[in-house]
Amino acid sequence: MKISQRHPWPTTVDEAIKIQEQLQLEVITEDNLKQPLQYVAGVDMGFEEDGAISRAAVAVLSFPDLQLQETSIARRPTTFPYIPGFLSFREIPAVLDALEKIQTTPDIILCDGQGIAHPRRFGIACHLGLIIDIPTIGVAKSLLIGKHEDLPETQGSWQPLIHKGDTVGAVLRTRTGVKPVYVSSGHRVSLPTAIDYVLRCTTKYRLPETTRFADKLSRD
């Protein structure tokens, strides 16, 4: 997999902010995807030894039938603290190690975290997508920024997520009567396409199958 070293990994928040502000200018929120998609992937993180070791997991599934094709796990020392809005600096180094191990290059990656629904419009999905030049979607389990109207309980319902007057994502009900997820463009994917693929990757659970497989790998 093509992985470009875009910057040194920072050790301070000030350094991280500069990187986010610089790279955010390169984020593409319009569709630039291979068609038809053959493989989708999920990435997720776990931590060992009280957070001292980062454990990244990648799961690659066939699309549209969502059958598991390949997995990888990578571990490395954690070098950046847990600070909301800066998770990519804590998590991506290990994720890149895991991605380097896979033989099947995914056509799109669903990240357990934010895309542009981020204070500086540069969540982990944006950051990862730029580094590996693969379309990415942010699928977060909790709200980081923004407000939205009340969401109907039915599967497939969604409302725009608004922050400072901009639509930065969508709050999406993937299953009737369950808590929603927060979807936003990462890189090379529009919001309508992101919503569509999240729903197409979701079966009988709240989270997409990509995320469920990667989450289990990151914890087991």
pLDDT above 90 for 218: no
pTM here? 0.94
pLDDT on residue 2 = 66
- Output the CA torsion sign for 14, 138, 178, 207: negative
DSSP states along 174-186: SSTTS--EEEEEE
Q: At what angle do helices 87-101 and 124-132 cross, to 10 degrees?
A: 40
Mean pLDDT calculated for residue range 84-101: 94
Read off the pLDDT of residues 145-174 as tens digits, 9 standing for 90 and up: 999 999 999 999 999 999 999 999 999 999
pLDDT above 80 for 82: yes
Read off the pLDDT of residues 106-155 as tens digits, 9 standing for 90 and up: 999 999 999 999 999 999 999 999 999 999 999 999 999 999 999 999 99
Instruction: Name every residue whose Cβ is closer than 8 Å to that of residue 30 and which is 6 or more positions away in sequence.
Output: 188, 190
Read off the pLDDT of residues 44-71 as tens digits, 9 standing for 90 and up: 999 999 889 999 999 999 999 999 999 9
CB neighbourhood size of 42 (10 A): 28
Please tell me the distance from the alpha carbon of residue 147 to that of residue 198, in angstroms, as a whole number: 20
